Every structure is written in structure tokens, then in C-alpha cells.
Structure 1
Amino acid sequence: MLLLDPYEVRRDFPIFARKVHGKQLIYFDNAATSQRPVQVIEAVDSFYRSLNANIGRSVHELALAATEAYEAARKVVAAFIGAKPDELVFTKNTTESINLAAYSLLASGLVRSGNEILVTRMEHHSNLLPWVRVARLAGAKLKVVEVTDDGRLDLDDFRRKLTDKVRVLAVTHVSNVTGVVNPVKELCEEARSRGALCLVDGAQSVPHMRVDVSRIKPDFLAFSGHKMLGPMGIGGLYIKRELAEKLEPPFPGGGAISLVECGVEECRAEWLQAPHKFEAGTPNVAGAVGLSAAVEYLERIGMESIEAHERRLTEKALGILQELGVTVYGPLDVKDRVGVVSFNVGKLTPHEVAQLLDSEGIAVRSGHHCALPLVKRLGTPLGTVRASFYLYNTLEELDVFEEALRKILVIAS
């Protein structure tokens, strides 16, 4: 494993040339969205300049070339998560991916009255609200697995609630609030042993560690391109091939069918094979091409190197916060988490701290992070300040972060 040089990496990111309030930008909001390297920006630009056409429809040369570029992108992105190309559906983001999975199960009758859906208290709203609605529409029951005081999944509670009535387990791989890494391989195994399907929210894991669906063996895995150096408006949903064959597409339309026939009183449709039956309408072709470029960039550096670099950053950040005596949420052992660190400073609100950090050129997130059930459980209903790291962040940036926090502590005292 090669040691990652963040200063070399930063040369590929034009945004780091800008100043914020007259100071060098320090971007610690990567859990919300990452920045884009020139390689991704140029890939999208090149598509629109030289390949732009609708795909899977026309037989002219430009359309065939655009279709080829789209399907080539699918192969690259699928391989990145250990999947086959026909197991990867392109979506616009993790939220759409999870909704697609949830409503496919509903449309196919695989979630029905009397069933149970199991989620956890640490879920992002995007892996909670779709299941709330589908449970209500199906007449199923939603159950919530609790977390411990330090934000870890309560595995005893999970096993108590994983009954034979559970048809779906929806669980995040990595918490976007505490950075806690869940043992999703084991969770999926246990769910499968009870006859349940397992959806893994990989929004915070796929960009930062090696995620291999052939090892984890989920039924679904959802992720977003914009959190992994790719464009906004593109994401992915892995669907296990055997399951995809059984599912009805919940959002039908053009480009997803092999046949439509209409009689006097009714119409019927026959779907294309997966993944195309789930991709009705014109997809974000340029986004897929850009995401493919992002994946190639990450692979060139190496996910193991990226993970190791973020671990060094996280270890230093946790040390700084503990030394300063601020409240940190989640486990303090770096081996149990990724580069997402939530904290609060004295009596200042999270938004006040974030604004003060912004005045020093440091971008962080503040609030409940679309995870209200978790932040309330952690005893901080106004939310937290969240610093989150990526491959282009440096240890020296954390020195600036520490000095800014020291100034804030004087204000808070």
C-alpha cells in the first residue's frame, strides 16, 4: 500500500485555489458532498462537447457512441463495488436508490400486510422515510433497532427484533453523524438466515473504503456519486441478480420495456432485463461518465491508501477535540469509525460554531445531519458540528482547525 500524498492530490482539485473570507479554504464537509478533480470535470465536459445524444433508442453513430460510453461507465462503477454490470442500476443519488428498492418490493408484493421492516435509530432520513411510507402502504410494521450511549448499534436489540416476520433489514454501513462502522456482512447474514432481505446504505462507506458486495452479500447496496468525487445527480443501486429478476419496476416508462400492447380496455407491458427495466426515461449519461472517471481516479490512488490516510486524520482530530475538552459523539477509538467526527462546543449552538469556523475559512456541517432520531438519542436535539475528511485533506489543516477552535473556546467561556 502506497502512502497517499494529499498535497499531490490537491493539484487536481481547482476549488482549492479559492479563498474564503480571505483565507485558504479548508473543506471539512465531505460527508455532505466531496469536491471534484479536473479529470471528472473534463470527462463530463468532453461528453457534452463530443458525444451528446440520447441512449438506447436511435441507431445513428452519435447515439450508439453515447450508449457505449454509458454502458462502459456501468462496467467500471459496478466493478468498483464487486458487482456485475447487470446488477448496477444508475440512479440520481442514494435517496432515489433506496426509494427504488423500497417501492420495487412494494410493487412486487414482497412486502405486505403482517410483515415487518427493520431499520435502526442511526439511519439517515433517506434510509428511514421510504420505509415508513412503504410500511404504511403495505400494512406492514416498522421496527427500530436502538443504539448504545456512544452511538454504536445495539446488537442485542437487533437480534431480539429480527424475527421471522421481518422481510427487510435496512441498515447504514457507516453513520453520517458519528462515523460508526456497522458489521454489515454479519448483519446481512443474520437477516438472510431469518428469511429477510438486506439493504445497505453505502453513502458514507463506498467513497472511503473498499466495499465489495460479493463479500458483504447484501440484496441491495445504495450509494451516491457526488460523495465520491463524481458529479451531482448520479448514484447507484446494486440489486442482487436473482432478486432483480423477480422485481417489478415501480417507476415505469420509456426505455424500460420490450413490448407494450393496448387492447380496447387495458394495456400490458413486458419489461427489459435488469438493470434497464429500472432506468425508465433519459438517464444522466454525462453523470455516469463522470462517475466512471471518479472511480478510475479513486482506484488509481487506491482505496486502502485513502482509508489509511483518513484514519490518520481522524485520529489527530479526535486527539485535538479531546485535548480541548469539547463534547465528542461516537466511539473514541479510531478503529471503530471513519473520518466523520461530530462534536459540540460549550453552550454555543452547532450553527454558531460552524459560522465561527467559516470565518476562519473552515467549512463544516452543523445541525441534525438528516438523522434526527439519532441526534436526539445522543442528547443533542439541536444537532452537532460535523467535520468530515477525504483524500485531499491534510494534517496541517487540522492544526488550523485546532487554532480556530481555541479562539472559539474563548468566546464560549
Structure 2
Amino acid sequence: MKTAAIICEYNPFHNGHEYHIMQTRNITGADCVIAIMSGNYVQRGTPAVMDKKIRTQAALLGGADLVIELPLFTACSSAPDFAIGAVSLLHKLGVIDYLSFGSECQDINKLKQIASFLIQYEEEIERGTKELMSLGHSYPKAKELYLREHLDDASLIEVLKQPNNILGIEYLKALLQLDSPIIPVCVTRVSNDHHSKELTPSISSATSIREILEQNQISPLFSRVPEALHDIYQMHYQKDFPVCLDDFSLLLHAAIYSCEDLTQISGISSDFKDRIFKMLKSDLSFEELISACKTKNLTWSKISRNLLHIMLDITKEKVEKARTYDMSPYFQILGFKRSASFLIGNIKRKSSIPMVRHLRVMNDPLSKDQEELLSTEQRANQLYRTVIGQKFHTIIKDEQIIF
């Protein structure tokens, strides 16, 4: 019995994700595919366009057998913490044979070569990157310039520029750091560019699909998502999605003004705190504040994550506590197919971390730190549902999705 895992956001689930699941089964011969999915907030520092329950249903209908939630502190982190949290969660579950990820690069050995280089020379790379940042370069540009000078194979730089390759390399680094027996495989990305806002036939990026949904259109969605999902998306549209970043603007303003010391929030430096208050105006939306704070050295995603951390009270202290668990302090099953219920039993027997249900403690006891992290996650979940309640007058109930 072989089990493969996919680390994902499915924001929203589309044809490219169905293709990835099918290719994962073909490449690995896996009997079961587990989706490790971000909850109601995602890595670029935004709320998910639709609630995790809808995305869980979509994942199961799209080919996954089991959906497990990625903890909040991992889901809202930059690439290294996101990767170590997701991979350590897979490692701790004790049942995963393969990790499959999408990549613009078709050569897994080339990705492994880069991952090994980045681990071996981590301190030198960080030191050199910081020196280049002091000259005014953003972190991504500074790192690219340093690696361009020190990598023997210049073609590897182009590999490092692609968003899926970047995350894939971080997954490979995490597997090496954890000395995990999980075998990595990559599936070549076949849709348009990860960040592309252009809709293309059949397979489009999640970014382009979100753009359409946020413009209050749904008909272009249907040719770009599996037919099995049409009824679910149509049933929920304008009842509890789409959710967008600006729906949280008032919550963000309230959090900024009520926080005693913004520098205690993860990612917030003294300079960034000063920039927030310099740019903050009462009529600015969430996205407008991001744009106002943006500089050559600060990327959109970095700013958005920082502001999301303020809103969700993700402090530096809490992140350090999460890191003591390799960013995976517990796990939660969001949904599963009855045919894969045996897998849950295997996980319960082999997992080395506690399981929670509806973000509440079950049979496994939690430490004080785990309880604090879970409490922050409960609050973040409630804020998301409050926004849905205010926007659509819909109440979302806790429910495990079973097909």
C-alpha cells in the first residue's frame, strides 16, 4: 500500500490540480493521495477565496482521498517555514511514501542539486544576500545576484526564478534537514504561469481564476475546473464566496490601532512599523495599504503577510513556539473518502503529533504552547467566518467532509 502526498492550497481547485493528482498516481503508483491543504488563509498573506470546507469537497471530488489541514502558522509563513512545516507534518504522520509537487522544471535531480547547494552554503548565502540588500536590493533580487555569482551552472539561476521550483526546492531542503525517507517526485506544470492573470483554455492559474471570481463572474470558471465541481461552486457562489482581501480591511485597521507594540508581531521591524503608520489612512483598504507600503525592498507578498500577521495576532513569540515543533504542532483531518478510512486508522497509530477536530482538542493531550497556538488558530478561523457572515449573511458550521 503506497501513499503519496501533495502540499497545496487549492485556492480554488481547478483542472491543473486534477491533472497533478492523476499524474501523481501514475508516477508513484500510489493507492491513496493525501492533500495537505492550507486552511482559510494562504501563503501569499491573504484569505482563501473560499472556505476550507468547500475546498475540501473540491479536493475529494477532484481525486484526493484524504484532506489534512496545514496549521495556520505554517500556511501564512514565507517559503522556508511553509516548506519545513508542511514536510515535517508529512514526516510526522508516519504513513507517507511520496511527496509530489508541481514544478516548471522537469528534472528532479537538478532541483536536488540546488537544494543540496543551498543547505551546504546556507550561512554564506545569507551573509552575501544581506550585504547586497544593504545596497538597496530586495531580498529575492539580492539572493539571485549572489547565487548568479557563485553557482557554477548559470542555468540553475533560471530554475530558481520560477515560483513552483522555489517551493519545490524548499520541500527538498526540508526532506534533507529532517532526514526523511519520503521520496520526492515532481510533476511538470502545464498551466499558464503561477502568477499569470490571463485566463487560458482548459487549464488556467488559480490567480487568473480568482481575478474572475473577484470581478463577480463565475461562468468563465466552469471550463477551467473539473465537471464534478460545477454544482458545488454554483451552489456556494455569492452565498459564502468569493472572499477577498479587502473584506478584512476594517479588521486590519482595528488590529493595527489596538496592538500595543507592532514590533512584537512576526515580520514587523521598527522601520516597517513606522512605514505602516506613515502610510495609514482611515479610508485605505487592505490592498491599498499594501500598495502604499510597497517599496523596492518590500515585495507585495511580504507586506501582505506582515499585515495579516497583525490582524491574526501572529506574534514573533508564537512563531518561535511553532518552530519548536518544526511548524507542525498538531494536525486536523478536514475530510476523506470512506474508501480511505483505513488510512486514518494508520495515521492514528503511527503519527507522532496530536490530532485535533474542528480546531479543538480531542483525545490527545496538548502542551501549553500547543494550546496557545491552537487558540490563535481558532480566533483566525472565527474572524474568517465572521467576514462571511457579514458579507453573505451565511453561517458556516463545523463539519468534517465525508464522501
The structure whose residues are more often strand, as a share, is: 1
Relative to its length, the structure with more helix (as a share) is 2
**Same fold by TM-score, threshold 0.5 exceeded?**
no
Q: Normalising by structure 2, what TM-score?
A: 0.28
Larger radius of gyration: 1
